[in-house]
């Protein structure tokens, strides 16, 4: 048996060897051509400035699909292991010497050394290892306990779509303006919209999560019946869910420019506010994004220019508490957190004997 085929590419001045470059990662569909491993590597190298701005010195979880995104491939989750695709939090064995790491601590108290990209060769190497999506923490390696990013996740629930998220995003932009914040939107790679706000790294994960709760509650008041912060799915209804728990420790969002494991190889695309209502998530793929990037550059290029104070949102959170609101539930896999209400799902609570 001969040796596996290998192709060498230039990754920021380093030679990167890509094994099995023609392996199909995304199969062909009626609408989209097949996407190979080499296509994925080349894509990330083509958007180098953007992906590095998103990942620079951030502890990063790798979402790896080494066998490709094919029917029948199962992604392992916190609740169900044993899949062919998986999230890798610890740096893989045999990583090149130029792959730097940062030690992070999980809510359980355990810790791990995650990759911490400092050059595009790290991204290319991870893609060669079957990484599709990069999930960076909202912190930098030099201070892993104080986030420098507030992440607003507008998640359409069943019965809602991207166009509904766009309407909520417009209201979110108005609220950001009132707070004096500059927000940077992007597609999630699916039906949702993410908005990033750079913040001064002097608050805890708990503080940032409280700020996201306050922001979501204010959107609920402004768009009643269209927005919800209810954690339990049974209570969300047909609305846009503001997922405040994306700001909890060890929760991450796919980075800007990350490929998503969906047919056609869509990517999480930075957007201008002015184009939100005239684009569709499927416009942005591994095939189309390099040309867009070459033409207009990184629409998040100014994201590091200004860092904002969380104080206005934390004041809003405290005001809500004084008016009878409470903290919100954490994800079920978290230990019981200080100030958190009970986590029993409403449907289960109704079924309990009294």
pLDDT, tens digit (0-9, with 9 covering 90-100), for 98-138: 999 999 999 989 999 999 999 999 999 999 999 999 999 99
Are 192 and 312 within one domain?
A: yes
Q: Are 209 and 240 members of one domain?
A: yes
* Phi, psi of 351, deg, nearest 5: -85, -10
Residues 77 and 23 placed together within one structural domain of the fold? yes
Indicate whether 102 belongs to any domain: yes
In a domain, 191, yes or no: yes
> Could you give the percent of the chain with pLDDT greater than 90?
89
At residue 347 the predicted structure's pLDDT band, cuts being 50, 70 and 90, is low
Domain shared by 220 and 323, yes or no: yes
Is residue 338 assigned to a domain?
Answer: no
* 220 in a structural domain: yes
For residue 28, the SS3 value is coil
- 78 CB-contact burial (10 Å; exposed 0-12 / middle 13-18 / buried 19+): exposed
Residue 354 has pLDDT above 50, yes or no: no
Q: Per-residue pLDDT for 70 more than 80?
A: yes
Question: Angle at the Cα of 43 (from 282 to 286), degrees rounded to 5?
Answer: 15
Across the chain, mean pLDDT equals: 94
The residue from 97, 126, 142 where one domain ends is: 142
Angle at 309 between CA 303 and CA 312, to 5 degrees: 125
Same domain, 174 and 133: no
243, pLDDT greater than 90: yes
Whether pLDDT at 305 is above 90:
yes
Give domain status of residue 342, yes or no.
no
For residue 352, the model assigns a pLDDT of: 42
Which of 142, 159, 194 delimits the end of a domain? Answer: 142
- 291, part of any domain: no
Q: Let me know if residue 85 belongs to a domain.
A: yes
As given in the structure block, the two tokens for residue 270 are: 């930075």
pTM above 0.85, yes or no: yes
pLDDT of residue 353: 38
What pLDDT is stored for residue 79 in this prediction?
72
Compute the distance between CA of residue 33 and CA of residue 164 in angstroms, rounded to an integer. Answer: 29
pLDDT greater than 50 at residue 351: no
In this prediction, residue 333 carries a pLDDT of 87
Alpha-helix residue ranges (DSSP H) falling in the chain: 37-46, 48-55, 120-128, 162-179, 205-222, 233-236, 289-296, 311-322, 346-351
Claim to verify: residue 76 and residue 207 sit in the same structural domain: no
135 and 155 part of one domain: no
Query: Which contacts (CB < 8 Å, 24+ apart) does range 227-233 have?
Result: 227/168, 227/171, 228/157, 229/328, 231/328, 231/329, 232/329, 232/345, 232/346, 232/347, 233/157
Top-confidence residue, 168 or 77: 168
Q: What CATH number does the domain containing 214 carry?
A: 3.90.920.10
Statement to judge: residues 109 and 127 lie in one domain: yes
Number of structural domains in the chain: 2
- Whether 102 and 182 share a structural domain: no
Note whether 314 and 181 are same-domain residues.
yes
- Same domain? For 207 and 320 the reply is yes
User: Is there a single domain that holds both residue 59 and residue 122?
Assistant: yes
Range of the domain at 98: 7-142
Domain boundary among 87, 107, 142: 142
Quick one: which of 61, 50, 175 has its CA closest to 114?
61
In a domain, 266, yes or no: no
Question: Is residue 2's pLDDT more than 80?
Answer: no
What is the pLDDT at residue 191? 96
Angle ∠(197,202,208) on CA atoms, nearest 5: 50
């Amino acid at each position: 048996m001969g040796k596996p085929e290998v192709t060498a590419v230039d990754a920021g001045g380093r030679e990167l060897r890509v094994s099995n470059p023609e392996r199909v990662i995304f199969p062909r569909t009626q609408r989209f051509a097949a996407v190979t491993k080499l296509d994925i590597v080349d894509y990330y190298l083509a958007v180098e400035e953007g992906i590095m701005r998103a990942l620079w010195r951030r502890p990063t979880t790798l979402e790896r699909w080494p066998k490709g995104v094919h029917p029948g491939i199962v992604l392992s989750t916190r609740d169900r292991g044993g899949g062919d695709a998986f999230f890798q939090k610890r740096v893989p064995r045999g990583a090149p010497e130029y792959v730097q790491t940062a030690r992070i601590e999980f809510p359980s108290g355990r810790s791990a050394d995650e990759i911490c990209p400092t050059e595009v060769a790290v991204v290319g190497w991870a893609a060669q290892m079957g990484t599709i999506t990069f999930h960076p923490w909202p912190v930098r390696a030099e201070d892993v306990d104080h986030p420098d990013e507030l992440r607003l996740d507008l998640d359409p629930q069943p019965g809602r779509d991207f166009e509904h998220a766009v309407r909520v995003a417009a209201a979110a932009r108005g609220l950001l303006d009132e707070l004096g914040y500059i927000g940077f939107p992007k597609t999630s790679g699916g039906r949702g919209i993410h908005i990033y706000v750079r913040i001064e790294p002097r608050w805890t994960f708990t503080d940032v999560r409280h700020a996201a709760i306050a922001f979501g509650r204010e959107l609920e008041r402004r768009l009643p019946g269209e927005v919800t912060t209810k954690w339990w799915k049974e209570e969300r209804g047909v609305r846009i869910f503001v997922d405040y728990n994306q700001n909890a420790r060890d929760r991450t969002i796919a980075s800007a420019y990350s490929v998503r494991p969906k047919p056609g190889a869509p990517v999480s695309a930075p957007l201008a506010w002015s184009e939100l209502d005239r684009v569709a998530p499927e416009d942005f793929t591994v095939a189309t994004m390099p040309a867009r990037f070459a033409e207009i550059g990184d629409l998040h290029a100014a994201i590091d220019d200004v860092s904002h104070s969380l104080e206005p949102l934390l004041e809003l959170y405290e005001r809500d508490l004084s008016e009878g609101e409470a903290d919100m539930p954490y994800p079920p896999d978290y230990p019981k957190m200080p100030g958190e209400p009970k986590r029993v799902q409403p449907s289960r609570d109704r079924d309990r004997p009294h």
